[in-house]
A and B are shown apart, each in its own frame.
Chain A
């Protein structure tokens, strides 16, 4: 498999239906094989769920494909482009944007600044542009401020725009992180446990947003989730990891019926494992 992947870099051409292809991705930390040969793909326009018991390597896998950890071996393609080994900020600029399991609100910055930060193509973000292109900077700032307010409004955060992000509740921070990721105009959004720690009402709204963005903007989603009801009802493809490997893949119904998956969890009903985080 490794050989095949290495010898066929064009195996994920632009017309491929897959927005992401990860092949035999490996990473160990001091003798512990966190991810030991994970191969999976995410179809363009899909909402794909990544599930698996605690310690399965889901978050590590996220960190590997988004450039936050270096790969020991294996390859990753985003829209046909090899991104293994690229620094995380470059991967983000390509349109593959992630959020974190533990929210990373920029606490001592206003909510609106959290949003503006994420917008691409601001000439004033370079020192040169900030000093010598004030007009272009101001113009872009106007555009993205408008965008940011619209997005905040759709997440019911517009009244908080000028508050420090650190004053938001846990659930609001999750929403802010999603809204902020959207400001980056991603084609592919990776959410690490977006529902963890937020109340059901906010959670439902977050799911609605995902569905709407997929429908209206064609954004592809890959999300890690422990709530099996959410996974089964809101994803059209499910990837299951256990012990650092992908052990099953398919539609929610296929995965639910897969003996390996049931064994990997606890040899019981999947509904029984809706609890718990990492």
Chain B
């Protein structure tokens, strides 16, 4: 949870605080879009997103810091590595029944995190990764330059002191929106139709000549590529990569976004992400609590209560179809 702390709460409107919330919301929109593909449209309860995010982030950082590979080249490379991990996790576990698949994926994510925590030489262990030992190279060097350029544009536009996270907000949300559009479009193709058939009944899909394991594997590998995107953005946002940034709670927050936005609808995801993070982080700005520790506890309490209320009164979330929820058998 500490990793999600964005800044100190203040009364009144604090632009850089809300920009920070927006960045986190954008990152989780991307995480939940990957989950939507798996959970909402393929019927695969993937609980391993945090692990795939870690693989994407760590690979990017290891390539740039330890091997002096350009940041821009490290992105496609680390995405490929993450997709490889998706394949590796999927191959043995996809034949499992869905609840066992969920267990296998959460275990694989924890495995990745624990390896990251203990493989000192490769990942920096509990110190995490940031820069090379002599501080001559950091993984976010290239991004900082781009970020400064973008903020230069905001200054040119007349903004006096743009928040340092503003460029990341812009980039994260451009990615989230483009990804949403891309997923909506691919879902409407016959390929997407087969995924939905796999979700509904794998045996029926097989009996009609569909290689269901192949489709599930594709779904999982695409989700892991999406997780790599989210992993990079999280790494750039925190400016350090640390094993505790990729605990299972990250995946659970992704599921919360999914529930709020509604299952089997991609457009609900960005909306759910904004709603969830405004709820969780925005309650920091409320000065109704006695002490800081009370506030921390009560914020999550409020978020949990809202989730429960949504499940009770609007199980389909923001954009999901109630009829589809009722027909699930």
Contacts and interface: CB of A to CB of B under 8 A. Distances in A.
Interface stretch (A38-46, A103-111, A214-222, A245-253): A103-111
A126 interface: yes
Interface stretch (B20-28, B136-144, B166-174, B200-208): B200-208
Interface of B: 186, 189-194, 196-197, 199-201, 203-212, 218, 264, 323-324, 327-329
A108 B211 contact: no
Contacts of A124: 189-191
B327 A164 contact: yes
A120 to B, nearest CB: 6
Contact of B201 (A106, A126, A130): A106
Contacts of A98: 207
B186 A131 contact: yes
A68 B204 CA distance: 11
A167 to B, nearest CB: 7
B203 A68 contact: yes
Interface stretch (A15-23, A28-36, A86-94, A147-155): A86-94
Contacts of B206: 68, 87-89, 92
A118 interface: yes
Given A180-B208, A184-B209, 5 more contacts: A68-B207, A89-B209, A97-B209, A106-B196, A116-B190
A117 B189 contact: no
A126 B191 CA distance: 6
25 contacts: A68-B206, A68-B207, A87-B206, A89-B207, A92-B207, A92-B209, A97-B207, A97-B208, A97-B209, A98-B207, A100-B207, A106-B200, A107-B327, A107-B328, A108-B199, A117-B194, A118-B209, A120-B209, A124-B189, A125-B191, A125-B210, A127-B218, A141-B190, A164-B324, A181-B208
B281 to A, nearest CB: 34
Interface of A: 66, 68, 87-90, 92-93, 97-100, 104-109, 113, 116-118, 120, 122, 124-127, 129-131, 137, 141, 164, 166-167, 180-181, 184
Contacts of A126: 191
B203 to A, nearest CB: 6
B328 A117 contact: no
Q: Counting chain A CB atoms within 10 Å of each CB, which of B193, B203, B209, B329 scores highest? A: B209
A114 to B, nearest CB: 8
